[in-house]
Structure 1
Amino acid sequence: MSSDTYDIMVNKGTEPPFRNPYWDNHQRGIYLSAATGKPLFSSDAKFDSGTGWPSFFKPIDEKDIMIVEDDSYGEVRQEVLERSTGLHLGHIFDDGPAPTGKRYCLDSYALKFVPAK
């Protein structure tokens, strides 16, 4: 695990917007957990949120993630964790597109992209 990935996933850090590997990735493929290799998100659910982080309206399988309350930084947010490890992936917001209205705002360093063949 790289130091950037460790900082994001274990220390629950965040990367700078618009300066991370996947915020503007438009290739088709699957986004895996950088820690376990588990497929978590698909490019089919990725959209440009304008925030500078990779954003998705749904995971591949909701059973592979969990949402917990995060009250760090003086605000209450909903944190997205990988269920099997409890490692940090990002946050979820209620301002995404149809069909879910959700925006999974993820940290690129918590993910590994595998292009479609």
Structure 2
Amino acid sequence: MAASAVVKLADHVKAREVVEAVLGMYLMQDQEPRRFRSDEAFRVQLVRRVMRLSEVSADAWPDPNTGRVRRTYRDFSPGAASIIAGWLAEALGPTGLHLAKLELRDAERSQQERAEFHKALADLT
């Protein structure tokens, strides 16, 4: 089931979009860790976000009340989601963690530069 879903995803979504989604999720986990109750919760959301890049796992039907098309996404079984999450984490996890570390370093450097600028302004007055 997991392999079939990934093959369908590969047929409909560019690899770059998947990489961007995964790296974005890793950045979110690093910068806002309270959004995820556990590592398992993060992994489930990681799979959801990646699989929702494609319409393959979506069902659509017209809402008779509004006339709009309603869409719902099917979740995978816990086993399939765990397998897909493992593949994503193995392939892109280290890069995501490294990117998060670089973002943190850039933020600290920017904060330090602002502090030095404010100190220089204070010294002028």
Which protein shows a greater Rg? 2
Check whether TM > 0.5: no
Q: For this structure pair, what is the TM-score category when the shorter chain's length is used for normalisation?
A: under 0.3
Higher helix share: 2
Q: Taking structure 2 as the reference length, what is the TM-score of the superposition?
A: 0.25
